[in-house]
Amino acid sequence: MSEHDKEAGTTGHQWDDDEGYPLKEYSNPLPRWWLYTFYATIVFSVGYWFLYPAWPLADGFTPGTLGWSQYRQLDEELAEAKAARKPFDDQLAQLSLDQIRQDPRLAAYAIAAGKAIFGDNCAPCHGSGGVGAKVGGFPALVDDDWLYGGTLETIHATVDNGRQGAMPAHLDSAGGALNDQQVRDLVEYVVAVSGRPAADQEAVARGKELFHGDAACNACHGDGGKGSLTGKVAGEAVDANIGAPNLTDAIWLFGGERDTLYATIAQGRTGHMPAWGAGFEGTGRKLDPLAIKQVTLYVHNLGGGQ
């Protein structure tokens, strides 16, 4: 080992190459800052092992003396978020739906909460954003065509208590009092009142007579098929809680094609909107009163609220 090598701090290992430039292994001390940082990380890691969950064990891990866990941290953060919401929630609980609607900040807060509730509970039937689904007869909630009504109060009552649509079966073989031809006549009449060209004007005339006569469809759908919400029978309002759809618009609960109309009139329909409120004190309730208010405001705000 040459003097020069000692100064430069080599280990003495050396590989000669043919050109006379040897490859030497150096052995310089590590820079101070690096070494101290390295020691510091060791000290830190020992401290960390004591304070935090660290070492895997057969049945879990060492918990650490601070008792920290991700779940605990999450619980704390959720509790903080809940505490931050509490003043809003308290106000929502106290104020009426109309009062909330008139306070833009509170309304926006309630609608945002209602949107999440809707996505979790209502969208499976009513579609995301409340667009509805004809298969199954799930009404769209985004339009201003209502079965039961689009005011805050009626929407609230619908969600709280649920609704049961009951369109009776009319074909004799399904327990009704009409034969196949009469059901076909009624189909033609419904096609005509919904503003489409009917194939057979005589069938329409016969259907019209049945509708307002023997079949008494107007008792629920109103004269001319305007629906139970706005319809009238001989000047008297129909009971709005029946939920019989307006047949004169182009909006269908189950569908307006002849086949679907025939199936509806022949076999009947029983659309069921579950109750979300009743029975909370017992077991069944899925939404508390605050959540029902929030989702009501959300639905009302979808576009068709009255």
The binder of ligand HEC chosen from 132, 137, 231, 277 (CB under 6 A): 137
| 284 touching ligand HEC, by CB under 6 A | no
Q: Which residues contact 174 (CB under 8 A, 6 or more apart)?
A: 266, 267, 268
> What is the chain's Cα-based Rg?
37
CB 138 within 8 A of CB 125: yes
Compute the least distance from the CB of residue 106 to ligand HEC, in Å: 19
Of residues 24 and 263, the one with the C-beta less far from ligand HEC: 263
| 219 touching ligand HEC, by CB under 6 A | yes
What is each CA distance from 137 to 264, 270, 273, 299, in whole angstroms? 11, 9, 10, 18
Query: 247, 273, 125, 98: which is closest to 186 by C-alpha?
Result: 247
Euclidean distance between CA atoms 182 and 7, whole angstroms: 114
Compute the least distance from the CB of residue 265 to ligand HEC, in Å: 5
The binder of ligand HEC chosen from 110, 115, 139, 203 (CB under 6 A): 139
| 265 touching ligand HEC, by CB under 6 A | yes
Q: How many CB atoms lie within 10 A of CB 206?
A: 18
Compute the least distance from the CB of residue 220 to ligand HEC, in Å: 3
Compute the least distance from the CB of residue 103 to ligand HEC, in Å: 21
Of residues 10 and 215, the one with the C-beta less far from ligand HEC: 215
By residue count, the chain amounts to: 306
Amino acid identity of residue 143, one-letter, is D
End-to-end CA distance of the chain: 97
Compute the least distance from the CB of residue 153 to ligand HEC, in Å: 12
Residues engaged in binding ligand HEC (CB under 6 A):
118, 121-122, 124-126, 137-139, 141, 146-149, 155, 158-159, 163, 165-168, 170, 186, 190, 211, 215-217, 219-221, 242-245, 247, 252-255, 261, 264-265, 269-274, 276, 295, 299
